[in-house]
Structure 1
Amino acid sequence: MHWEEEAYSRTDKDGNPVSFVEYEKQALGKKLGGFMTGGDLMLYSITGVGFFLDSYDLFIINLMSPIWAYEYWNGHYPPLLRGAVNAASNIGNIIGQLSFGFLGDAFGRKFVYGKELIICIIGTILVISLPNSIPTPTLKMIWIFCFRLLMGIGIGGDYPMSASIVSERSHLHTRGRLLAWIFSNQGWGTLTGSVATIIILSCFRKSIKEEGHYNELDAVWRIQMGIALVPAFATLIPRLRMPEGRKYVESRALNTPASPVSNVHHERASTDPETNAIQNIPGLASTSDSTIPKPQKLTDLPAIPLNITDLEKLDPLTSRKAKLNAFFVYFSEWRHLKTLIGTASCWFLLDVAFYGTNLNQSVLLADIGYSTGKTHFDVLMRNAIGNLIIAVSGYVPGYFFTIFLVEKMGRKWIQIQGFLVCALMFAILAGGYTKLSTGGKFACFAIAQFFFNFGPNATTFIIPAEVYPSRVRGFAHGFSAAVGKLGAILSALLFNYLSGSTVIGLANVLWIFFACNMLGALSTWFLIPETKGRDADVVDFREWQEAAGEKVSKK
């Protein structure tokens, strides 16, 4: 595709390799309206819709659960069963994030991209196809649980694949902004879920509220879920047609037995006995320890003049084992493992609080006295309006602050300040829960939502997409996201149980959220590097050069 080759190959118009600095200058001068390049816009349209879909599917459950409670349980939806159904897609996320992240690194982005969307589409169709002939509410919820789990596998697969593709096709000095733009579609997905629910309920107002036909709530939730199929089908074909990225292929070449970096790691460096130079990468001039470039800064390192066709020849069956072991070889070094622990732990701590709040926002609105009404219909409408207000006042604006400031403030500081402000809001809510007014509690939740998204909810996605080299990025990002989803599952399963007055109560659950945010700030400070202006593939290649030079000099 023209947009991919023009925007992301590190060569000039004559096909000659250019330095990263010169490449960035040329690319940044091609912005449409001073905002995005043509390639950025195409990338946004393909991957951004996926995150819109992800968010809509994941958070619409918050608005569907009260409907199921009235339709199937007469308002008494068992807490543990409700938690399990809420957690189903997050359980599937873990499977999808790990499997698609691994497959994307081992076999290529092109090989797997779009397949995750097919799984998501199938899962969604099966959820809304719930047979009314199933005899009991519990069995109905088991059906929904199983196919929301399947849908979640597809959603989970989108995280590492879209993150890797965007990172590998973005320009260094706008990469964080574009990743934030892509991820901000979660905000639009959540907002759309609230608006769609209000519109759908309004359409059924007469039959449900005035005529008392509450059985028509069955149509309401099926339409709510089915709307997600529209962006899914719109995105499917472009994803299946997306070509392999040059940067991924170049980075993957370093995993093969024929490449120096693999040989260095396994202490089998192949050298020319006369020139003492590293061999084996087609298109790469031999380099000895005396000719290894010594740039003043990483972005000055010249581009690697690799030919994509030649590199694809480095992908025989004999190289498969090396590719599959690349993740473990790379993270056998403590400096890399420490970063992985940091990205995974921060994502876990965030999701305990973030999903504990968002998957149960309807419960929180009811508990603080906002979702009230004379009829079930009134309660459902107030609940949808409350979710909409929080999305408009806090959830969506937070993403846009990240978009505009991520390249100025850096990822690390945005993540730390977000954790700290959210911790403050949960401390205020927990400490003054019996004294705060409904308006005060509502404001604290809205502020927390703002700083989740102008903070760790955005940056825990951005940082793993930037800090790891392309050859391990998919699985490393998927692993970090999967550990995060463990936190989401814990919240989904335990929130309704623990928040009950007979256990520890909602105020003490909010103290748990406070502790998670404080620990997240500390983990960010000590374990995660700043990724602003950092090209992980250049760093990775530079580490190989240094290791190769040391190895060759010893020989």
Structure 2
Amino acid sequence: MENQLGVLNALDAAKTQWYHFTAIVIAGMGFFTDAYDLFSISLITKLLGRIYYFDAHSAKPGTLPPRIAAAVNGVAFCGTLAGQLFFGWLGDKLGRKRVYGLTLMLMVICSIASGLSFGKSPHGVMATLCFFRFWLGFGIGGDYPLSATIMSEYANKKTRGAFIAAVFAMQGFGILTGGIVALIVSAAFDHAYKALPYNVDKEHSTAPQADYIWRIILMFGAIPALLTYYWRMKMPETARYTALVARNAKQAAADMSKVLQVDLNAEQEKVDKIGIEPSNSFGLFSKEFAKRHGLHLLGTTSTWFLLDIAFYSSNLFQKDIFSAIGWLPKAETMSATHEVYRVAKAQTLIALCGTVPGYWFTVAFIDHIGRFVIQLMGFFFMSVFMFALAIPYQHWKTHNAGFLIMYSLTFFFANFGPNATTFVVPAEIFPARLRSTCHGISAAAGKAGAIVGSFGFLYAAQSTHPDKVDKGYHTGIGVKNALLVLGAVNCLGMLFTLLVPEPKGRSLEEITGENEEDKGQQQASVGNVPV
């Protein structure tokens, strides 16, 4: 492309260098923290019920009321959705770097504040926790469009998919670390509680010290975010934003000369020429955008929405599924601290067997077989395994090992599939001046799906018997129906994947047509949708 800027050509053609890995770690640690904060709540919801909703008239341990459980699990997603839209828009208006540190500091402050939640009553503590988790989610939401856009604009075109997927793959390590931290903390308190000298029923009671467990687990999320802040502030703004949006060729060349360690020309004349092209001035709500990218945005939003219904509901309510099939003992047979340990052990095993490997399979193959094939394949196999779990559901109650294998495979193909590709593609197929905004919109659609999953699955998985609904108990019938619904959702995901283009092996400007002078060429470059 003769109209392409030299600085952008240099980025596209650059061999894999140390700065690529530095960018992956800096952006990826945000996602590590995101996943830790979002999924650690599922490790402690049973404990919260036992601590704050103990029924003195019943011999059974307390549980969170359904509405409280839905709020505690889902409020962070509401904040994340708002943060994705706001910071996505702000990233295009002010620049990626200028708002990048703000999201991290919000995550640090609100992680600590969540662990310090207070109140005069159980409802007061839960209300405070929900308040801080909303703002925690708001900061997390900003990390999605900013990290994806920064990594896509730093990467070369040959391995861009792997680099963006590697950032997202840090989410797997965040989920795994959440389980490990919960294992260590709960095991330490469980051991200390059993060693106490006084005579109580330590197997079935809730220790006063158990209140520290959930607070420590939540506050630990501040540590990785805090460690990353300094390096985020040292990153230069991406050349694509500086040149194509801010129109400052000199600054873009200077920044990338340091990063690539080569001399680059400013080429302000080319930047000015690109800036006055009518094809580079249409807005998000214009007819031109709808014509060029409308179907693409529909594809990225719908597939992410459908994927997150299945992915987040499965993640957040693993403990209920494990209890329903008998893999976890009944709550009344163990202490509160030991219950946290057993839930964390189960979820850590799932992360090790299915979640983490799936992410890195995507990193390894995304630039070879493409985003489209991986996403279609992932939705297909998620459907297969969801139906395979749901249809012979009673069979799995006596075959726990088989259930665990099948359930792990759904997470493997979620991550070696649409959970990774829905994050990668929106960072590649939209123009630079709208890239962060469109990624934020796509991600927000995903979080809308997570909200549907977290609230919907809670009620779908509950018994229809009024007494059991009030007490928050779950039955196999509800879980079976929920798995059937999730299988159907994944089938819809396959259908909407047909709207998503394949950006493999092309530069960002070639995909969007930003540097093409001929209007016909531009339309051709963005209209290739593989079937």
The TM-score bracket by the shorter chain reads 0.7 to 0.9
Contact 2:431/2:514 (8 A) holds in 1: no
Q: Deviations for 1:55-79, whole angstroms, at most 9, x for unmatched residues?
A: 0001001101121121112332112
One-letter amino acid matched to 2:222: L
Distance 1:529 1:98, change over 3 A: same
TM-score computed with the length of structure 2 as normaliser: 0.83
The answer as to 2:222 corresponding to 1:229 is yes
Q: CA deviation at 1:23?
A: 6.2
Q: Deviations for 1:230-282, whole angstroms, at most 9, x for unmatched residues?
A: 1111111222232211112222158x9xxxxxxxxxxxxxxxxxxxxxxxx99
User: Which residue in 2 is equivalent to 1:536?
Assistant: 508
User: Which residue in 1 is equivalent to 2:120?
Assistant: 135
Q: Deviations for 1:455-489, whole angstroms, at most 9, x for unmatched residues?
A: 11111001111111221110000000001100101
CA distance in 2, matches of 1:282, 1:394: 47
Q: CA deviation at 1:330?
A: 7.5
Distance 1:137 1:324, change over 3 A: farther
Spell out the pairing of 1:142-541 with structure 2 (5 A cutoff).
142-209=127-194, 211=196, 212=202, 214-252=207-245, 307=267, 326-329=283-286, 332-372=289-329, 374-376=333-335, 377-436=337-396, 437-502=399-464, 505-525=478-498, 527-541=499-513
The correspondence for 1:116, drawn from 83, 103, 110, is 103
Q: Deviations for 1:205-234, whole angstroms, at most 9, x for unmatched residues?
A: 233345446111111111111111111111
Contact 1:419/1:455 (8 A) holds in 2: yes
User: Which residue in 1 is equivalent to 2:527?
Assistant: none
CA distance in 1, matches of 2:268, 2:225: 31
Q: CA deviation at 1:539?
A: 3.6
TM-score computed with the length of structure 1 as normaliser: 0.80
SS of equivalent to 2:422 = helix
Contact 2:429/2:512 (8 A) holds in 1: no
CA distance in 1, matches of 2:63, 2:186: 21
One-letter amino acid matched to 1:478: G
Q: CA deviation at 1:535?
A: 2.2
Contact 1:418/1:455 (8 A) holds in 2: yes
User: Which residue in 1 is equivalent to 2:260?
Assistant: none
The answer as to 2:68 corresponding to 1:81 is yes
One-letter amino acid matched to 1:421: F
SS of equivalent to 2:167 = helix
CA distance in 2, matches of 1:78, 1:400: 38
Contact 1:251/1:469 (8 A) holds in 2: no
CA distance in 1, matches of 2:492, 2:344: 32
CA distance in 2, matches of 1:93, 1:24: 32
Contact 2:186/2:338 (8 A) holds in 1: no
One-letter amino acid matched to 2:223: V
Contact 1:282/1:311 (8 A) holds in 2: no
The correspondence for 1:97, drawn from 66, 75, 84, is 84
SS of equivalent to 2:304 = helix
One-letter amino acid matched to 2:117: L
CA distance in 1, matches of 2:190, 2:510: 59
One-letter amino acid matched to 2:104: L
Q: Deviations for 1:481-506, whole angstroms, at most 9, x for unmatched residues?
A: 00110010111112121111218721
Distance 1:23 1:225, change over 3 A: closer
Distance 1:406 1:137, change over 3 A: same
Distance 1:173 1:381, change over 3 A: same
CA distance in 2, matches of 1:416, 1:93: 26
Contact 1:251/1:537 (8 A) holds in 2: no
Q: CA deviation at 1:543?
A: 7.0
Q: CA deviation at 1:122?
A: 1.8
User: Which residue in 1 is equivalent to 2:45?
Assistant: 65
Show structure 2 runs of 5+ residues with no match: 55-61, 197-201, 252-263, 466-476, 523-531
Q: CA deviation at 1:434?
A: 1.4
SS of equivalent to 1:332 = helix
SS of equivalent to 2:329 = coil
Q: CA deviation at 1:99?
A: 0.5
CA distance in 1, matches of 2:362, 2:343: 28
CA distance in 1, matches of 2:481, 2:377: 23
Query: Percent identity over the alignment?
Result: 36
CA distance in 1, matches of 2:88, 2:379: 27
Contact 2:8/2:240 (8 A) holds in 1: no
One-letter amino acid matched to 2:418: P
Contact 1:371/1:380 (8 A) holds in 2: no
Distance 1:251 1:76, change over 3 A: same
The correspondence for 1:45, drawn from 13, 25, 42, is 25
User: Which residue in 2 is equivalent to 1:260?
Assistant: none
Contact 2:157/2:506 (8 A) holds in 1: yes
Show structure 1 runs of 5+ residues with no match: 1-9, 12-16, 32-36, 257-280, 284-303, 551-555
Q: CA deviation at 1:310?
A: 10
Distance 1:209 1:515, change over 3 A: farther
Contact 1:250/1:306 (8 A) holds in 2: no
Q: CA deviation at 1:100?
A: 0.4
CA distance in 2, matches of 1:323, 1:121: 38
Distance 1:331 1:442, change over 3 A: farther
Contact 1:56/1:192 (8 A) holds in 2: yes
Q: CA deviation at 1:105?
A: 0.5
SS of equivalent to 1:326 = coil
Contact 1:116/1:158 (8 A) holds in 2: yes
One-letter amino acid matched to 2:423: F
Q: Root-mean-square deviation (CA), in Å? A: 2.9
CA distance in 2, matches of 1:368, 1:335: 49
Distance 1:506 1:44, change over 3 A: same
